[in-house]
Chains A and B, each alone.
Chain A
Amino acid sequence: MKRTGSQILLESLLLEGVDTVFGYPGGTVINIYNDLPDYPIKHILTRHEQAAVHAADGYARASGKVGVAIATSGPGATNTVTGIATAYMDSIPMVVITGQVPTPLIGNDAFQEADIVGMTRSITKHNYLVKDVKDLARIIKQAFYIARTGRPGPVLIDLPKDVQIASTKFVYPDSVELRGYKPTYSGNVRQVEKAAKMILAARRPVLYVGGGATASDAGQNLIQFAELIQTPVVTTLMGMAAFPTAHPLSLGMLGMHGTYYANMAVTNSDLLIAIGARFDDRVTGRIAAFAPKAKIIHIDIDPTSIKKNVRVDLPIVGELSDVIEKIGTKLRENHDQIEAFPELTAPWRSQVAAWRAQYPMSYKFSNTVIKPQYVIEKIRKLTDESAIIATEVGQHQMWTAQFFNFSNPRTFLTSGGLGTMGFGLPAALGAQVACPDRQVIDISGDGSFQMNSQELATLVQFKLPVKIAILNNNFLGMVRQWQELFFDHRYSQTPLELPIDFVKLAEAYGATGLRATRPDEVEDVIRKALATPGPVLMEFKIDREENVMPMVPAGAAIDEMVLAS
């Protein structure tokens, strides 16, 4: 039977298992929106296209499924750009569908025309302009396949209005044929053998875990592997929740705002095993001084991540779970050696424990002013382990990473690579749609919150009980911190002097607003928020000039940390 392009799109989405899309209608997607009510697909109408993409992203991060967003041509499409770049940097599987002006008008500077395929070429894993309705089903099949396989990422499909209207026979392909795209999943056996040898020869090993561990759902495999080789684990911001922070082998986060003991362990290690991490500059600090005594094994599904920033002694391309399982098996074959191994590295673990005892993560509690770290500890205490935490970008993001003690994968949604302010609220929204029965909390700063605060409307309209915790210091805090420490306290354009009544703002949208101004009010406010149905905004008036510590100054080695201000 013949179907129009927009019907083909919607039927294909169903066949890909999509039951929810995030979007915003407009002139060039009006046909899709006209057909949408005929399909069992839930549409979440955000109040900005950027938020629709972040919401699809949060949905994907929380569920592991491909997130889908729809926007119209021109400004609708350009509004998706920040969201797409955010997902690309963090390797999030996503399909973004944009409307486009009719094919005869493309290139004519038509109303609401923008070359979105050109603009997003460098921030998508792949993108398509559909010129013929006959290609549409194949392209959608490929888009989902590319988005979710290999190193995941966003794929954009630009769909001109006339292609949506044109009709053809609908046949959804069973399989994908892409001769140029064949990700390597299985780790090379010889490399695996070498890795096992290198591990057994190490005396000061460290596992360095990144976002790839979440993407490949390495979870239990990773814990077993770390326990087998009794090796301390440091994680990146993106790898945080992939390995439980409370695990005895966990040293928490490394890098610019990492723990003292994580950075000391990496700097003094003799073997660094990188698992789905990409040696980002926020992690390595001064590259020449990063893990200077260590041999490096780098396991990643994306060959371009390997040897991009640092020299690597042993690259292994493959899917993480597969590779670490194989290395584990190889190690167990050397039964006597792996039995004896933990004993040989015991002095190293004692050394690491000594560093931890020397400078544990801490902050100065106050009875008079709310410390942001205290709020985060309280949220952690009052929620269960399944709670999903989204953040924006800045000081509150780092405090959350440092003090929340995540224990389950896919419970920490944060823009690690691009560092997008305004990500958290729509991402929390998307996560709540994906996981309606779980507690979802957006931990935010007053600066970031205002970049997508309009999404309060979406939360209220769709009855999404996201709780928002704004750590309000009336500052763009992270930039202020840099100005304090490196620019002689010259607070250029970082004070947000207009005191916004966030409680009233929440109420204006029909949400609940609560405020704490003293430390003894914090717990009550959180309890009340969690007990209140529907979206709740909590405003915490925090210590205005609290800093994120420890901190590695830009350009310094990661063991050259400032420990307290």
Chain B
Amino acid sequence: MVSHEAKHTISVLVENEFGVLTRVAGLFSGRGFNIESLSVAPTLDDSISRMTIVTSGDDRILEQITKQLNKLIDTIKVIDFTDSEYVERELALIKVQATEDTRAEILRIVDIFRGNVVDVTARSYTMEITGAPSKIQAVVDLLKPIGIQELVRSGPVVLGRGAKGGLSDKG
């Protein structure tokens, strides 16, 4: 069996209760699993939260991660999107140093990547960019030479493609 390290994006539907985030985070740290990013918020049904976790590992580790997540009493459903069709989006807020010489260039980049400027000062632009993590990375790489002052990324969130919901109509 060939098994290699790969990145996986997992959706975890959990009870929206006190301490659930710690249970999930503790499971990852206690068993030595990686978390590259994690985002959490309530779903349409506010008794359920959806966590989107990006992790990595070989097949054996991923199988353990999925099973261990499922074993938590507060976990309702675990979906590993790796081998399926899904839509993935991440939000980044980027504050870039702006001077007379660079203003036009910054706006051009924002435009090309369909971002929005959400705050302007005499010396900076703050913009929002959404897209797949690779797109965010491309913007970051372009803006870095110009001077990024601050950057915050939400970590990706994903939904499966097609008409079917993750947890009937609750997800």
Contact = CB atoms under 8 A, between A and B. Distances in A.
Nearest to A150: B71
B63 A307 contact: yes
B73 interface: yes
A118 interface: yes
Given A117-B19, A122-B30, A129-B18, A180 B74 contact: yes
Contacts of A121: 19, 22-23, 26
A304 interface: yes
A464 B130 CA distance: 69
B63 A118 contact: no
Contact of A308 (B18, B26, B64): B64
Nearest to B47: A179
Contacts of A303: 67, 70-71
A321 B95 CA distance: 62
A304 B64 contact: yes
Contacts, number: 40
Given A122-B26, A302-B71, A129 B1 contact: no
A252 B62 CA distance: 35
From DSSP, what is the main secondary structure of chain A's interface residues?
A: loop
Interface string B1-28: 1000000000000110011001100110
A180 B26 contact: no
B22 A118 contact: yes
B60 A307 contact: yes
Contact of B73 (A118, A180, A307): A180
A178 to B, nearest CB: 6
A181 B18 contact: no
A122 B71 CA distance: 12
Nearest to B70: A303
A304 to B, nearest CB: 4
A42 interface: no
A290 B88 CA distance: 43
A311 interface: yes
A308 B68 CA distance: 10
Contacts of B73: 125-126, 146, 178, 180-181
B72 interface: yes
Given A121-B22, A304-B68, A180 B76 contact: yes
A179 B64 contact: no
Contacts of A129: 18-19
B52 interface: no
Nearest to B31: A122
Contacts of B60: 307
A62 B28 CA distance: 34
Nearest to A311: B1
Contacts of B26: 121-122
Contacts of A122: 26-27, 30
Contact of A179 (B67, B71, B76): B76
Contacts of B14: 180
A303 B68 CA distance: 9
B126 interface: no
B126 to A, nearest CB: 35
Interface in B60-113: 60, 63-64, 67-68, 70-76
Q: Kindly name the residue among B14, B63, B67, B72 whose own CB sees the greatest number of chain A CB atoms within 10 A.
A: B67
A180 B15 CA distance: 8
Interface in A382-415: none
A304 B76 contact: no
Contact of B71 (A117, A304, A311): A304
Nearest to A155: B73
B1 A180 contact: no
Interface in A103-138: 117-118, 121-122, 125-126, 129, 131
Contacts of B67: 303-304, 306
Contacts of A304: 64, 67-68, 71
Interface string A157-197: 00000000000000000000011110000000000000000
Given A129-B19, A303-B70, A180 B63 contact: no
A185 to B, nearest CB: 16
A302 B72 CA distance: 12
Given A121-B22, A303-B70, 5 more contacts: A121-B19, A121-B26, A179-B15, A180-B73, A304-B67
Interface of A: 117-118, 121-122, 125-126, 129, 131, 146, 178-181, 302-304, 306-308, 311
28 contacts: A118-B22, A121-B19, A121-B23, A121-B26, A122-B26, A122-B27, A122-B30, A125-B73, A126-B73, A129-B18, A129-B19, A131-B18, A178-B73, A179-B76, A180-B14, A180-B72, A180-B74, A302-B71, A303-B67, A304-B64, A304-B67, A304-B68, A304-B71, A306-B67, A307-B63, A307-B64, A308-B64, A311-B1
